Amino acid sequence: MTDSGAAGVDTPGLLDRERIIATAGFNRWLVPPAALCIHLCIGMAYGFSVFWKPLEGALLDASGKPLASCTGSATTFSEKAAGTLKALTATDCNWSQFDLGWMYTFFFVLLGVSAAIWGGWLERAGPRKAGLVATACWCGGLLISALGVYLHQLWLLWVGSGIIGGIGLGLGYISPVSTLIKWFPDRRGMATGMAIMGFGGGAMLGSPLATLLMNHFKTPTDPGVAATFVAMALIYLVFMLIGSFGYRVPPAGWKPEGWTPPASANSMITSKNVHLDNAHKTPQFWLLWLALCMNVSAGIGIIGAASPMLQETFGGMLTGAADLGYLDMKKDAGMAATAAAVGAGFVGLISLFNIFGRITWASGSDKLGRKVTYFIFFVLGAALYVLAASAAEWKILALFVLSFCIIASMYGGGFATIPAYLADIFGTQFVGAIHGRILTAWSTAGIVGPVVVNYLHDTRLASGIAPDQLYGPIFYILAGMLVVGFFANMLVRPVDAKWHMSDAEVAAEQAKLVHKAATAQSGSFGIGKGGLDAKAAAFWILVGVPLAWGIWNTFVKALSLF
């Protein structure tokens, strides 16, 4: 580094991108656990429903019974919306799941929107600064939500965790993607799969942790949610700071020793780069956007309804009383509780396949190729939805469960594979920002999937169709979405050479990211080498132990299914 006293050159600040350029002796295997530190925290967004029931009964009357919700007995959407508007500031009525569920919508809409808006800034600022902003938004949002619970102001929860936290989700989610792809050009899928696996596992860790904390803090008049939000914000703050300061980026032009980039005119893996400003002008961007949107839409609605779907479809079979349907079973509190436990086990099993599908499919794509991997998602996924419809009709529980476990693995695998797919098509220079923009497909799917599933479920139920017959046609529609994704993926071709940046243009972009004082560090000698040495092992243990604890808790719940 050049001293601050050198003419015309300032020492980079602690948060500047050039400050974190790796030097000789840095082990690239320290970067994935840094990413996991952040993804395991923000992944709790998937598990926020653990707070719904406690918050629904937060306000008690004089006799100690929960007050009615602000929506009361509303049945139509307009009545529920009016009740929710009242709930935003009311302190004399409880919140309903409908009121609280909007936070979940905000999470994933804001994730995609913020990633698209600030993805370009992230490439310039570097993963450390982006990770710290994500930390401030996510943990700060939890603290604002704690205040909202304490004051019983729903709008503070929406703004705190939903909006500010959603922005933190977007920046935290994409902060390691570009960095990992550049550190692991030889194993892009595996690298991004390891990090994005953490996002899927965040709820496995966060949900049981939140339950333990609420049980610790609750009193006869307080469900303990506000204190839990504060405690989790402080815990997450520590881990996300460790992750943010653990990030390093390789020098320009770095590559692993002994690795040669694949060179083929017909290869789906390009050695060129497409500028961020041009990526969305190519058909490849929108074809991949559509492929991701269809894959997520087909999975997210069903995953969100997994427990009631299983109970409605198989009814008394879940309790050993095969002759009882769902409605008959619900009349017996004991049977209903048993079925609910089995449903929770089903959710846990799906979660396990979701998380392991991320690392398994993404790693496999390094061998199979990204396009072939997505072909498998769409062909096998559509076939499994058709099979699930038949399994529901035939009442074969094991086949039904197996179908959705594999579907869940491919749902997670789609998320983990798309960053590497984008790097193959558009190059690595702007892959983080391009990934941020394509995540708007997730935001769209987060609305489309649940709306299709829930709307068809409710309308079919209202028309008098038996609960065990509700989902068959829905599965066929979801299979149709995957067919659309199949054709979108099939049309993906290498980007036309007219969109490729010249070597001089790439060098100019890289020069913008590097402080003049840092250029002396450029080169590859002794950088990135090493395996699981003592320092890397300690870092992996730091993230691995909590993750293993969360997976174990989920596995125990899943055992109830058997």
Residue-by-residue pLDDT tens, the chain, 562 positions: 344 444 444 566 788 888 898 888 899 999 999 999 999 999 998 888 888 888 988 888 888 888 888 877 766 778 778 888 988 999 888 888 788 888 888 888 899 999 999 988 988 889 999 999 999 999 999 999 999 999 999 999 999 999 999 999 999 999 888 889 889 988 889 988 888 888 888 888 888 899 899 999 999 889 999 999 999 999 999 999 999 999 999 988 788 887 777 665 446 788 899 999 999 999 999 999 999 999 999 998 888 778 889 988 998 888 877 777 877 777 777 888 888 788 878 888 898 999 999 999 999 999 999 999 999 999 999 999 999 999 999 999 999 999 999 999 999 999 999 999 999 999 988 998 999 999 999 889 988 988 888 888 888 888 899 988 989 999 999 999 999 999 999 999 999 999 999 988 888 887 776 654 444 344 455 676 777 788 999 999 999 999 899 888 888 888 877 7
Biggest CA-to-CA distance, the chain = 86
Query: The tokens 């991320």 sit on which residue?
Result: 358
pTM score: 0.86
353 Cα distance to chain centroid? 14
Looking at the chain, which residues constitute the CATH 1.20.1250.20 domain(s)? 29-54+90-254+533-562, 274-305+347-500
Tell which residue, 171, 109, 162, has the closest CA to residue 136. 171
pLDDT recorded at residue 164: 96
Round to whole Å and give the CA distance between 348 and 324: 25
pLDDT recorded at residue 264: 53
pLDDT recorded at residue 1: 38
CA distances from 293 to 15, 340, 416, 440, 485 (A): 34, 31, 14, 9, 8
> What is the 3-class SS of 118-179, one letter each residue?
HHHHHHHHCHHHHHHHHHHHHHHHHHHHHHHHHHCCHHHHHHHHHHHHHHHHHHHHHCCHHH
CA distances from 51 to 42, 47, 206, 344, 512 (A): 16, 8, 11, 16, 45
Q: Which amino acid is at 37?
A: C
Is the domain defined by 29-54+90-254+533-562 classed in CATH 1.20.1250.20? yes
pLDDT recorded at residue 102: 84
**CATH hierarchy code of domain 274-305+347-500:** 1.20.1250.20
DSSP tally for the chain: helices H, then strands E: 22, 0
Residue pair 488/294 in contact by the 8 Å Cβ criterion: yes
pLDDT recorded at residue 522: 45
Beta bridge partners of 27: 528
Tell which residue, 524, 542, 537, has the closest CA to residue 183. 524
pLDDT recorded at residue 304: 75
- Please give the full DSSP string across 369-388, using - where no structure is assigned: -HHHHHHHHHHHHHHHHHHH
pLDDT recorded at residue 263: 60
H or E element, residue 452: helix 440-462
Residue pair 391/399 in contact by the 8 Å Cβ criterion: yes
Look up residue 560 and give its two tokens.
């109830």
pLDDT recorded at residue 514: 62
pLDDT recorded at residue 474: 94
CA distances from 382 to 142, 471, 482 (A): 39, 15, 6
Round to whole Å and give the CA distance between 152 and 89: 8
pLDDT recorded at residue 245: 95
Beta bridge partners of 274: 500
Beta bridge partners of 219: 222
| Backbone φ, ψ for residue 249 (5° rounding) | -115, 145
pLDDT recorded at residue 4: 45
Strands (E), 2-104: none
Look up residue 194 and give its two tokens.
């390891």
Round to whole Å and give the CA distance between 399 and 403: 6
Angle of helix 306-314 versus helix 283-304 axis, rounded to 10: 50
